[in-house]
Amino acid sequence: MSTERASAKGRANAFSHVAKASWGKGVGTLWRITRLNLRHPWQVTIAIVSTFIAATLQLMIPRLLGQAVDQAQGLGTAGAAATQALWTTAILLLVISIARGIFTLLQNYYSESVGHHAAYELRLATYEKLQQLSFSFHDRVHSGDLITLGILDIDGVRMFFATATVRFILLAVLIGVGAYLLISTDWLLGLLSLSFVPFIGWRSSVAQLKLRATWLELQERLTAMSRVMDENLGGIRVVRAFAAQQHEMEKFEASSKHALDLAHERTKLRVTSTSQMNLSFFLAMGLVLWVGGLKVIGGEISVGTLAQFLTFMTILQMPVRQLGLLVNAIARGATCGMRLFGLLDLELAVKNKPNAPELKVTEGTLVFDRVSFRYPGTTRDVLKDVSFTARRGQTVALVGPPGAGKSSLVHLIPRYYDVGSGAITIDGQNVAEVTLDSLRRQVAVVQQDSFLFTTTIENNIAYGNPWAKERRIERAAESAQLHNYVAGLPSGYDTVVGERGVSLSGGQRQRLTIARSLVLKPAIMVFDDSTAAIDAATEQRIRLAMRRYAQDRVTIIISHRLSSLMHADQILFIEDGQIVERGSHLELLARKGRYRALYDLQVRPEADTPLLAGE
């Protein structure tokens, strides 16, 4: 198995722990889906009543056709009376057919309506849940699986009412009542007429379950193929730069061929199953014709009665084939429902405590008190016994090797994650005990990865405060050294950036995200290596322009470029999750420790030249 396929299966099984824990709850899942559908009682009632009426009218058609055949045979002897009776039967048959069509329409419309209403509610609930789930959840679950869950699994639940509940009622009436009517008319012909039902029902169910299993596998293969295409399109410049078009074509062809092979296998399975079901049906019809013909010759039944049996078989053929679809719909509804409800039932790792108050900022003092933290599902502490205090107007800089825990530390302030032990307080209020909304309004984190929405520059800057005035947006852009660039665009702040801000350079995207945070005027501002793509001169201008912002709030800076944080009131050198050095720039230089070594490496790299020359 290729790496691509293995990773696809890994992501496809992102909720396998939920499914495995819930296999015994399949019936409960289906009942939960049914209760969801019953929240729309009028549509459900109309759909079910229409199904009963449509099935009953359909069962009347074979008897009327048989009666018409017998009446047509008597035209030569009975004269006008037989003609009148035939006309009456024909008109009655037409009326019943029209009525059946109307009730079938109502059945289909309202059964679909129930499903779409349920899907609408599930989409909103799923989207709301995804907004609430913590970073720890999104860290381990691929976004593609969540999109699949929000589309395919919701669709599987949506179709349950129409393809399982309503179809079960329809088949129960047609097969149950129809079988009783036929057997009560002639038990031998009735049994022969129904002889194809068990085989087709069994064969259809087996085929549909196999097709479903291969369909899930095909979805995985198509997902892998889509991922290859998405990666290629996202990195098209790299592909062209390294003349790797042929390699990419071969990779895509292999992935596409892998999906094509399974598609052929599915086609073979479908065609074979259909042929076997057709054969069993026509064998049963041949037996009915043979035995029924002998009975007609012997005078035991009329030609019309034989026609009645044959018509019923023709009517019953397609519904019986749907037994497989019924089994498939039940299996799909249970599987999709367990995955979907497994997500909706997840306990939130980070949530508001009952009756939590809003955060009230007065002095703007941030305190870390012996904070330790490890990511959920891991055993290693990322932060260990971290303590420091930052007051309004102060700038705290975090520096250290990659993976030391700097980003993890600042992500604890707005409660993207909860601390393992210790406490984080703002003006004496534990961040774990105030509402998330009020906390995150006061803490703005500017990430290194600058995500922009496909909308105007103005809307991107004002994302956190859509009601911000135009002048406030411009001042934020000026401080982020972005205003002059935007003003030079033909549409100015109304310019629409491309998908994920692809029309902007890396530095421009980072400056835009800085401006987005400045609009909020939070009590605590965190810059998580957010100037890595900005040149040193522009970064210096940004730092100078932000001095007036820094006077009224705590500023925390993470940077690997020491020139970005030399001005900080307090520099914390973090290594292996612990603060190993702290002090101002000059104090840390004087200690000649880790910070001084990093400073010498960046500011005086020529000191390494003799070593390199002597190697």
- Residue 8's pLDDT is 39
Topology given in CATH for the domain delimited by 366-604: Rossmann fold (3.40.50)
Percentage of residues in the chain having pLDDT higher than 70: 87
- Residue of 466 and 121 predicted with greater confidence: 121
User: What gap in Å lies between CA 47 and CA 68, rounded to an integer?
Assistant: 31
- Residue of 463 and 147 predicted with greater confidence: 463
Domain boundaries 24-344, corresponding CATH code: 1.20.1560.10
- Mean residue pLDDT across the chain: 81
Q: Is 488 helix (H, G, I), strand (E, B) or coil?
A: coil
Size of the chain in residues: 615
Taking each helix axis from N to C terminus, what angle separates 41-73 and 178-185, rounded to the nearest 10 degrees?
20
User: What gap in Å lies between CA 300 and CA 297, rounded to an integer?
Assistant: 8
* Cβ atoms of residues 413 and 524 within 8 Å: yes
Q: Is 569 helix (H, G, I), strand (E, B) or coil?
A: coil
Instruction: Tell me the pLDDT band of 502, cut-offs 50, 70 and 90.
Output: low
CA distances from 19 to 12, 15, 25, 411 (A): 12, 6, 9, 31
Model confidence over 262-301: pLDDT tens digits? 888 878 887 887 788 888 888 988 898 899 888 888 888 8
Instruction: Tell me the pLDDT band of 366, cut-offs 50, 70 and 90.
Output: very high
Give the residue among 549, 534, 570, 529 at the shortest CA–CA distance from 411.
529
Instruction: Kindly report the pTM of this predicted structure.
Output: 0.71
Model confidence over 392-418: pLDDT tens digits? 989 999 998 888 888 889 999 999 889
Among the ranges given (83-87, 94-98, 568-572), the one the predictor scored with the smallest mean pLDDT: 83-87
What is the average pLDDT across 427-452?
A: 86
Greatest mean pLDDT among 17-26, 309-318, 498-507 lies in 309-318
Residue 226 has pLDDT above 90, yes or no: no
- Residue of 374 and 226 predicted with greater confidence: 374
What are 364's two structure tokens? 């703007």
Instruction: Tell me the pLDDT band of 500, cut-offs 50, 70 and 90.
Output: low
* Cβ atoms of residues 102 and 84 within 8 Å: no
What is the average pLDDT across 368-386?
A: 89
Would you give the DSSP letter of residue 565?
T
Domain coordinates in residue numbering, the chain:
24-344, 366-604
- What is the CB neighbour count within 10 angstroms for residue 499? 10
Q: Which residues pair with 524 in a beta bridge?
A: 443, 554
Model confidence over 558-594: pLDDT tens digits? 887 787 788 888 999 999 999 999 999 999 999 888 8
Residue 227 has pLDDT above 90, yes or no: no
- Residue 48's pLDDT is 94
Residue 1 has pLDDT above 70, yes or no: no
Q: Is 299 helix (H, G, I), strand (E, B) or coil?
A: coil
| DSSP β-ladder status, 570-575 and 443-446 | unpaired
Among the ranges given (86-95, 445-454, 498-507), the one the predictor scored with the smallest mean pLDDT: 498-507
What are 170's two structure tokens? 């329809």
Model confidence over 108-164: pLDDT tens digits? 999 999 999 999 999 998 888 888 887 777 767 766 667 767 777 888 889 889 988
What are 567's two structure tokens? 């001005």
Cite the DSSP H helix spans in 74-164. 75-78, 80-132, 135-140, 143-148, 154-158, 160
Model confidence over 509-551: pLDDT tens digits? 878 888 888 888 888 988 887 666 566 666 676 777 677 777 7
Instruction: Tell me the pLDDT band of 439, cut-offs 50, 70 and 90.
Output: very high
Q: Is 352 helix (H, G, I), strand (E, B) or coil?
A: coil
- Residue 390's pLDDT is 92
